[in-house]
Amino acid sequence: MSNTDFVLAIEDLTVSFDGFKAIDNLTLYVDRGELRVIIGPNGAGKTTLLDLICGKTKASGGSIKFKNQEMTKLAEHKIVRAGVGRKFQTPSIYENLSVFKNLEVSFPSGRSVLGALGFRCTDEVKERVQSVASEIGLADALDMEAGLLSHGQKQWLEIGMLLMQEPELLMLDEPIAGMSVRERELTADLLQRICKGRSVIVIEHDMDFVKRIAHKVTVMHQGKILAEGSMEKVQADPKVIDVYLGH
């Protein structure tokens, strides 16, 4: 496979679980600075695709190149260190630690065993925690135990933990699930801010939200890409209408 200018180039990606092809010969390119939304009915393979990119699931075939570096054979933590951040569907934060600690732990230094022993919370770290915390609207909650945050705040905290790592590719799995209308708006603004200077892939079901944030939409169905393009184009596509309404 040749090198490309895309930040993420997925080609002929396949994964099968006991013969069932959850992702079937999928090819997808994501540009630098792009905010891509992936939609599709349940079981279309959206989450599996993110799992494959971040190394949680190993591909049966095909290639995933991040900045022209092959990712399919790398260990998870190496993929993260290369610059790929992943937010899980259910908020995945350290409930027993304070918001500050949650963010501090995500700071990308002292990642080896000995490095962690020698890690000091320098002013630089504190500043980053502060700036990320104000970005995600949790600047006043730094000393709070993360488990006490509201559901929406937990989602933001996890996004903040990813921002600490300054990833070049950020993948968010249903970031607004369970959020109130107001929280959804704030999240949309947040996403529009953070996609400056990095690429973002979002999986989402809420079409109004998708319309608001997406640069480009990819529709998945049964492990394949059904349609790709702007929201208007995709919504007008008869195949997409068929998948969403036909069955």
By the criterion CB under 8 A, which residues form the site for another protein? Answer: 54, 56, 75-77, 80-81, 85-86, 88, 92-97, 101, 104-106, 108, 110-113, 116-119, 121, 158, 161, 165
User: For residues 221 and 245, is the Cβ–Cβ distance under 8 A?
Assistant: no
Beta carbon of residue 176, minimum distance to another protein (angstroms, whole number): 19
Strands of the sheet containing 61-66, edge to edge, are 20-30, 8-17, 61-66, 69-70
Report the residue number, 118 or 197, with the smaller CB distance to another protein. Answer: 118
Report the residue number, 92 or 235, with the smaller CB distance to another protein. Answer: 92
Per the DSSP assignment, residues forming a β-bridge with 228 are: 218
Report the residue number, 173 or 217, with the smaller CB distance to another protein. Answer: 173
Least Cα distance to 9 among 58, 68, 52 occurs for: 68
Least Cα distance to 58 among 10, 19, 16 occurs for: 16
3-class DSSP assignment, residue 212: helix
What's the rounded Cα separation, in Å, for the pair 167 and 85? 6
Beta carbon of residue 149, minimum distance to another protein (angstroms, whole number): 14
Alpha helices by DSSP H, the chain: 46-54, 76-82, 99-105, 113-118, 123-135, 151-164, 181-194, 207-213, 231-236, 238-241
Report the residue number, 69 or 112, with the smaller CB distance to another protein. Answer: 112
Beta carbon of residue 160, minimum distance to another protein (angstroms, whole number): 12
Beta carbon of residue 53, minimum distance to another protein (angstroms, whole number): 11
What's the rounded Cα separation, in Å, for the pair 164 and 168? 12
Beta carbon of residue 226, minimum distance to another protein (angstroms, whole number): 28
Report the residue number, 80 or 227, with the smaller CB distance to another protein. Answer: 80
Report the residue number, 125 or 177, with the smaller CB distance to another protein. Answer: 125
Least Cα distance to 170 among 151, 150, 193, 147 occurs for: 193
